[in-house]
C-alpha cells in the first residue's frame, strides 16, 4: 500500500556562502535586463494609454487630463518593473531548503517549491565550489527537464550520499 504523504527522509538548508556563489553566477547580462525592462515599461504604459483612449472616446465618460494620465501610467509602469526586479533579487539571494522524500527531492526558497521525482533523475554529481576562500560541497542533480545545483553543509555530505543511495539515486564524484 502506498502512502498518501511521502515519507520525509532528511532535510537541510543550503549554506549562505553557496547562495552568494549562485547569486554571483546567475546574474543576468545587464543589457538583457535593461531591454526587458524597457519593453515591459513601454507595454504597460501603452496598455494604460489605450484604456485612457477608450475612456476619451466614450461620450458618457469624462477621462482624466492627458498629462496626469501620462505621468500616472509611466509611474505605474516603473513601479511594476521595480517590483519584478526586487522579486528576482530576493529569489536569487534566498537559500534553498532541501527535503528528500522517499520518491522525490524538493527544493524550496522564496521563489516557491520545485520537486524532482527520483525516477526522473538521470545523474547526480557531488563536486565542490570555492567561495570566499572556503571550499564547500555542491550536489548537482540532472533530470530529464531541469538541472539543479544545491549546496550541502560539509558535515552532512556522507549522510546525504547514504540517503540518496537508499532511494536508488547514485551520486558520482567526490564524497
Q: Which of 71, 91, 111 is the last residue of a domain?
A: 91
Q: Which of 91, 123, 139 is the last residue of a domain?
A: 91
Average pLDDT over the chain, rounded to an integer: 84
11 Cβ contact list (under 8 Å, min separation 6): 97, 98, 99, 100
Containing structural domain, residue 73? 30-91
% the chain with pLDDT above 90: 22
Q: How many CB atoms lie within 10 A of CB 60?
A: 5
Whether 5 maps to a domain, the answer reads: no
Q: Verify that 66 and 35 share a domain, yes or no.
A: yes
% the chain with pLDDT above 70: 93
Q: Verify that 70 and 125 share a domain, yes or no.
A: no
Q: Verify that 111 and 59 share a domain, yes or no.
A: no
Closest CA to 148 of 107, 103, 111, 92: 107
Q: Which stretches within the chain are classed as H helix?
A: 16-25, 30-57, 66-93, 157-166
Q: Which of 73, 91, 109 is the last residue of a domain?
A: 91
pLDDT tens-digit series, residues 54-109: 888 888 877 778 888 888 888 888 888 788 778 777 887 888 999 999 889 999 98
Q: What is the per-residue pLDDT for 108?
A: 92
Q: Verify that 103 and 169 share a domain, yes or no.
A: yes
111, exposed or middle or buried, with CB in 10 Å at 0-12, 13-18, 19+? middle
Residue 148 and residue 102 in contact, taking contact as beta carbons nearer than 8 Å: no
Total count of domains within the chain: 2
Q: What is the per-residue pLDDT for 131?
A: 80
Which residue is it, cell 516603473? 78
Q: Verify that 71 and 124 share a domain, yes or no.
A: no
pLDDT tens-digit series, residues 113-134: 999 998 999 999 999 888 877 8
Q: Verify that 106 and 84 share a domain, yes or no.
A: no
- Helices 30-57 and 66-93 meet at what angle, rounded to 10? 150
Whether 23 maps to a domain, the answer reads: no
Question: Does the structure show a pLDDT above 60 at 149?
Answer: yes
Amino acid at each position: 500500500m502506498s502512502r498518501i504523504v511521502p515519507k520525509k527522509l532528511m532535510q537541510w538548508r543550503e549554506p549562505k556562502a553557496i547562495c552568494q556563489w549562485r547569486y554571483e553566477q546567475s546574474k543576468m547580462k545587464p543589457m538583457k535586463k535593461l531591454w526587458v525592462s524597457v519593453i515591459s515599461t513601454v507595454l504597460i504604459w501603452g496598455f494604460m494609454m489605450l484604456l485612457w483612449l477608450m475612456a476619451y472616446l466614450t461620450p458618457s465618460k469624462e477621462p482624466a487630463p492627458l498629462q496626469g494620465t501620462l505621468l500616472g501610467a509611466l509611474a505605474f509602469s516603473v513601479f511594476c518593473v521595480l517590483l519584478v526586479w526586487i522579486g528576482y533579487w530576493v529569489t536569487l539571494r534566498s537559500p534553498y531548503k532541501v527535503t528528500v522524500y522517499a520518491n522525490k527531492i524538493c527544493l524550496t526558497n522564496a521563489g516557491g517549491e520545485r520537486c524532482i521525482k527520483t525516477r526522473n533523475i538521470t545523474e547526480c554529481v557531488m563536486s565542490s565550489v570555492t567561495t570566499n576562500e572556503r571550499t564547500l560541497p555542491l550536489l548537482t542533480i540532472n533530470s530529464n527537464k531541469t538541472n539543479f545545483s544545491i549546496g550541502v553543509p560539509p558535515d552532512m555530505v556522507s549522510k546525504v550520499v547514504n540517503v540518496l543511495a537508499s532511494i536508488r539515486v547514485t551520486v558520482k564524484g567526490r564524497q
